[in-house]
Chains A and B, each alone.
Chain A
Amino acid sequence: MAQFTKATSVKDWLNQRLAIEKVEKVMGSEYWIPKNINFLWAMGMILAFLFLLLTVSGIFLLMYYQPHVDTAFYSVNYTIMSEVDFGWLWRHIHAVASSVTFLIIYIHMFTAIYYGSYKKGREMIWITGMLLFVTFSAGAFSGYMLPWGQMSYWAGMVITNIFSLGDLQFNGLVEWIRGDYAPGQAFLNRFFMLHVFLLPLAIMGLIGLHFAALRIPHVNNQDGEEIDFEAESKKYLAGDKKGSKVMRFANDFLSKDVMVLGIFLVFFFYLVFFHYTFALDPVNLDPADGLVTPKYIYPEWYFLWSYEILRPFSVNIGLIAFGFSQVIFFLLPWLDRSPNTVAASRRGLFKYWFWLMLINMIVLTAMGKLPPKDPFSTIGLISAVLFIVMWLALPFITKNEKKA
């Protein structure tokens, strides 16, 4: 058993029991970060902050939300928006934060793709990141069901229908997921459970895993430089702060994280107070009605690109393409066969692949929202085919890349 002595201070008391000084070193002051990284490396912390905001605002909403098909709409749109003091504020924060989370996730993902941060020991960071993307998507979808508006109902109908898997006709599976033939009370209840319990829990676990996966390989840097963290940190601790290639996480990089967060918050609160409608689809402000199909059914903006990979094809092919688009990102570390872990600008064909992929996904996103008629459906079809072809071509493009 460890030796406990009479504590000389509260800190000492805690230190003997929790080793807080050591924890502080491991997590902060001696967690080494390369110096040559830009503000894009603060996106992860912004995501962590947004998740905190979602959790806090969600707890407040949960105090008044009623998961019942007869009262859900009213409890959100009237009780929370008009009766509860500052209920509107929590709702706007929650809605805007969920939408902005996806914006930042996409920036975070494309940063990782651009700098090749999924390679050379960073595969687990990428995989846990993708698992976060999937659970966040499920979280956003389940949350969208809760106000029980027209879009909740019809998006719930369309998305759960995907599980019938086209001509395989797995209608039993669809009913099992819904708990009924059509979305109803059982459906709302289980999505409520997923949204407020199971998915946040999974996300918390995954964020822990994502952070853990970062420790051994350390974060990448913008020059693709292989840094000897051992030697560089010694240099820093010996007093050569300027000469060392690394810095402490706290307070060195943390101060930059906070700076980026500060600037981000100005943008975020502008959206919350003055430009929130993009996060509250007007169609979903009509109460759910199983007898009236909305003129246009579309998912939230962050799902549009994958929706557009499903939509332009016939049912079965569309489902295969959709399945492909959902798993293919996971395989990126193995599809990229080049040994170079540097910025895309310094790589051969991959440079073009990167920008084309980004632009094509934006095109898919736009076409996913626009009504499925020409020219949009043709553009969507071409983009969807291009998306698949580009992924299939990736190993060949990267195989013969010269050492950068």
Chain B
Amino acid sequence: MKELKILAVVVFFALVTYWLVEPYAHGIMHKKVDTKSFAYSDLDETTKGVMSKTGDASRGADLIVNGGCTGCHSVNVASIPAAMDAVSAAGAFGVNPPDLSNTGVIYDAKFLAELIKNPAHALNVEHKFAPESGKMHPMVPFYGAGGDIDQEIADMIAYLKSISVKVEDVTPAMAYEDACARCHTVDFVNYTYTGKIPAFKSKKDELAFEINVLEYEDSLKAYMGKLPPDLSMYYLSRSPHYIRTFMEDPQSYLEGTSMPRVGVTADSAEKIVEFMADSADSKRHQRDEIGTYVIYFSIIFAILAILWKKEVWRDLK
């Protein structure tokens, strides 16, 4: 039929135009980075020793305290409080070191092994701490407690794993808070550097809290060279794939950036992406559901309209 031919021509040109300005142009403009499945295989070599050992959690418990970790980190589940409040910690280290309660489940084990031994290397920020700059990474490496250092690190990791919640109990908010919150705010869901912003009883408390946030930001800015962006909209303004591959290795997109590779597992990464989706695109489930109904309704409307037209035109042709 002639009209279908015309329709085919129109659709053809529309699709060609669409393909050129969307998929094709964006493919040219944006760097394509494939995920490496959060394998961190560049750390295989240096962590071989640790990874071949079986850790002992009870020995690890002592090492975490005696090895100095708790001098900077809290371990809430083990009732080990932080040595300082978040603002003072940021003043001392640039950021507030995260609580270690769920470290064992949120971070990749191989990554942890490297982190404990050589934080700047694991975090992929050695360019910021070159020896000639005289700068040291604020997280002090663990130099061993007198025994086999590889075994000791394996013990610590075993301990961290033993105190963590189970994978299936990690919520998107937990994963995000552990790995990202110390540097990023998420305004849309009321998250700041110390987690969810509490409800305030008085204006005074609120202002005091805000001053703390500003002070924290001063330290963070000095440490990172710039204030990390608010992540409220990144799920939409970039893409899930971008966020995933960016956290896997920020250097792959922004060479020389000061954002560390955080070393989360693939599972935690998915949860962090979901957290960001809940902020930027909170109505996505409702949209999908209603969308399906609306499409059905439109199809029915179209069929009725076709029938009506046939009816009216029967007398005309």
Digitize B176-207: 1 where CB-to-A-CB distance is under 8 Å, 0 elsewhere.
Answer: 00000000000110000000000000000000
Partner of A296, one of B6, B18, B29: B29
Q: How far is the CA of A274 from the CA of B299 in the complex (A)?
A: 16
Q: Is B171 an interface residue (CB 8 A)?
A: no
Digitize A265-289: 1 where CB-to-B-CB distance is under 8 Å, 0 elsewhere.
Answer: 1101110111000101011011000
Would you list which residues of chain B between 218 and 236 have a CB under 8 Å from chain A?
232-233, 236
Q: How far is the CA of A362 from the CA of B316 in the complex (A)?
A: 38
Q: Is A124 an interface residue (CB 8 A)?
A: no
Chain B residues whose CB sits within 8 angstroms of the CB of A272 once the complex forms: 291, 294
Would you list which residues of chain B between 6 and 60 have a CB under 8 Å from chain A?
6-7, 10, 13-14, 16-18, 20-22, 24-25, 28-29
Q: Is B283 an interface residue (CB 8 A)?
A: yes
Most chain B beta carbons < 10 A, residue from A107, A251, A272, A285: A285
Is A255 a contact of B21 with CB atoms below 8 Å? no
Min CB–CB distance B33 → chain A (angstroms): 16
Is A365 a contact of B20 with CB atoms below 8 Å? yes
What residue in chain B is nearest A362 (Cβ atoms)? B17
Chain B residues whose CB sits within 8 angstroms of the CB of A39 once the complex forms: 3, 6-7
Is A82 a contact of B188 with CB atoms below 8 Å? yes
Min CB–CB distance B12 → chain A (angstroms): 11
Min CB–CB distance A279 → chain B (angstroms): 11
- Name A's interface SS: helix
Chain A residues whose CB sits within 8 angstroms of the CB of B28 once the complex forms: 370-371
Is A78 a contact of B232 with CB atoms below 8 Å? yes
Q: Is A94 an interface residue (CB 8 A)?
A: no
Min CB–CB distance A105 → chain B (angstroms): 13
The size class of the interface chain B forms with chain A is 35 or more
A262-B298, A269-B298 as given contacts; A38 in contact with B6, CB under 8 Å: yes
Q: How far is the CA of A52 from the CA of B193 in the complex (A)?
A: 45
Is A252 a contact of B316 with CB atoms below 8 Å? yes
Digitize A240-262: 1 where CB-to-B-CB distance is under 8 Å, 0 elsewhere.
Answer: 01100001000110011011011
Chain B residues whose CB sits within 8 angstroms of the CB of A258 once the complex forms: 305, 308-309
Partner of B291, one of A78, A274, A362, A371: A274
Min CB–CB distance B236 → chain A (angstroms): 5
Q: How far is the CA of A366 from the CA of B283 in the complex (A)?
A: 33
Would you list which residues of chain B between 272 and 299 have a CB under 8 Å from chain A?
281-283, 287-288, 290-292, 294-295, 298-299
What residue in chain B is nearest A261 (Cβ atoms)? B305
Is A365 a contact of B21 with CB atoms below 8 Å? yes
Is B302 a contact of A263 with CB atoms below 8 Å? yes
Q: How far is the CA of A273 from the CA of B296 in the complex (A)?
A: 13
Q: Is B306 an interface residue (CB 8 A)?
A: yes
What residue in chain A is nearest B278 (Cβ atoms)? A82
Is A273 a contact of B18 with CB atoms below 8 Å? no
What residue in chain A is nearest B308 (Cβ atoms)? A255
Is A285 a contact of B25 with CB atoms below 8 Å? no
Chain A residues whose CB sits within 8 angstroms of the CB of B281 once the complex forms: 81
What residue in chain B is nearest A87 (Cβ atoms)? B283
Q: Is B129 an interface residue (CB 8 A)?
A: no
Chain B residues whose CB sits within 8 angstroms of the CB of A362 once the complex forms: 13, 16-17, 20
Q: How far is the CA of A282 from the CA of B280 in the complex (A)?
A: 12
Chain A residues whose CB sits within 8 angstroms of the CB of B295 once the complex forms: 266, 269-270, 273
Is B232 a contact of A252 with CB atoms below 8 Å? no
Q: Which B residues are within 8 Å of any A CB, using their own CB?
A: 2-3, 6-7, 10, 13-14, 16-18, 20-22, 24-25, 28-29, 187-188, 232-233, 236-239, 281-283, 287-288, 290-292, 294-295, 298-299, 301-306, 308-309, 311-313, 315-317
Going nearest first, the 6 A-B pairs with the smallest beta carbon separation are A273-B291, A285-B237, A262-B302, A262-B305, A366-B20, A255-B312
- Beyond A266-B298, A272-B294, A369-B25, 16 additional contacts (C-beta under 8 Å) are A40-B10, A77-B232, A81-B283, A252-B316, A255-B308, A258-B305, A259-B306, A262-B305, A266-B302, A269-B291, A269-B298, A273-B294, A285-B233, A296-B29, A358-B13, A366-B24
A-B CB contact pairs (8 Å), 7 listed: A78-B187, A81-B282, A89-B287, A103-B14, A259-B309, A285-B233, A369-B21
